[in-house]
Amino acid sequence: MYDQLTFERENRERIQAVENSFRPSGRPLTRPGRFLMGEGCLLKQGRRRPEPRTFFLFNDMLMYGTKVLRGRWYKKQNIIPLEDVLLGDVEDSDELKNQWLIRTPRKSFFVSAESLEEKRAWMQHIEQCKADLLQSGGLQAGANFAVSWIPDQTSYKCMRCLKKFSVSRRRHHCRRCGFLVCNNCSRPRELIEHIHPTKRVRVCSLCHIRKEDSNPRLRGDSTGTNSSEDEDSAESSDEEEEEEEATMQDHVPSSWLDFRMGTWGHRTSFQPGDLNLRPVSSPT
């Protein structure tokens, strides 16, 4: 029977271990009241193909990174506050099964679990943690979310002018609609604050026209520069996520901490045993 002090110590050790696995570039993770709820490997849809990423769910945030040395170390730490997460269920596709959409203000993307049960567990746990976080007060759910980008391989031509992509006519993504467009069809730049509060980002000509029509004050506004530097900077994080890994052969089933009502007062209704997930030490 675990007491409160034992549970708090083991939780700190788990979080510290995750924090250490992202060093030296990772951000500090230990803070009062933070609990590591679970972790597991999911396929994340990238620009070119789905890639395995390790996700960590805390009671106040969702974090993921790229596995190095079979999970002993991680890199490219991405942290998303749970109040800024919006989930959307998605039907299976030929490429991804058991998938769903994770929407955030700066970036939205599809992820896929190895089984339907694991998908349901992830979605239920994330939704429950977010609900508990918002119910605790002081935070509001996000209102603006980025669109999900259409993967590069889904179109061989610009989705605006219909000209074929080539070495000189590169693929780009409109930050408003997520369409694949060529350089000529994505010259405008706009400030979309929930994506980047200070930098103008690439949008397609049609979205720019629609934005101007809906707000006459924007007419005549500068569309910004069209240097390759802007595109490279805006998309660098996505380019960096492309790794050699392409399968889930090292897949580890998601594991969850079963936090039940206890002397520490942390409440949750998770029942991971019902989903036959690999258990980890529980404070019960």
- Burial environment of residue 126 by CB neighbours within 10 A (0 to 12, 13 to 18, 19 or more): buried
Q: What's the whole-number mean pLDDT along residues 42-69? A: 89
Query: In this structure, are residues 241 and 51 in contact, taking their beta carbons and an 8 Å threshold?
Result: yes
Report the alpha-carbon distance of residue 23 to residue 17 in Å, rounded: 10
pLDDT confidence of residue 268:
34
Report the alpha-carbon distance of residue 216 to residue 220 in Å, rounded: 9
- Spell out the CATH class of 4-144+243-275: mainly beta
Q: Residue 7 is which amino acid?
A: F
Q: Where are the alpha helices (DSSP H) in the chain?
A: 4-21, 116-135, 205-214, 228-240
pLDDT confidence of residue 248:
45
Bridging pattern class, strands 99-103 and 108-112: antiparallel
Q: Give the pLDDT confidence of 121-133 residue by residue, as tens digits.
A: 999 999 999 999 9
Report the alpha-carbon distance of residue 260 to residue 275 in Å, rounded: 16
The CATH fold of domain 152-222: Herpes Virus-1 (3.30.40)
* Structure tokens, 22: 């992202």
Q: Give the pLDDT confidence of 206-256 residue by residue, as tens digits.
A: 999 887 766 655 444 444 444 333 444 444 333 333 333 334 445 666 777
Which residue, among 76, 39, 92, 26, has the nearest Cα to 242 in the 3D structure?
76
pLDDT confidence of residue 52:
92
Sequence spans of domains, the chain: 4-144+243-275, 152-222
pLDDT confidence of residue 132:
93
pLDDT confidence of residue 1:
53
* Structure tokens, 80: 């998303």
Does this model's pTM top 0.75? My answer is no
Report the alpha-carbon distance of residue 168 to residue 191 in Å, rounded: 27
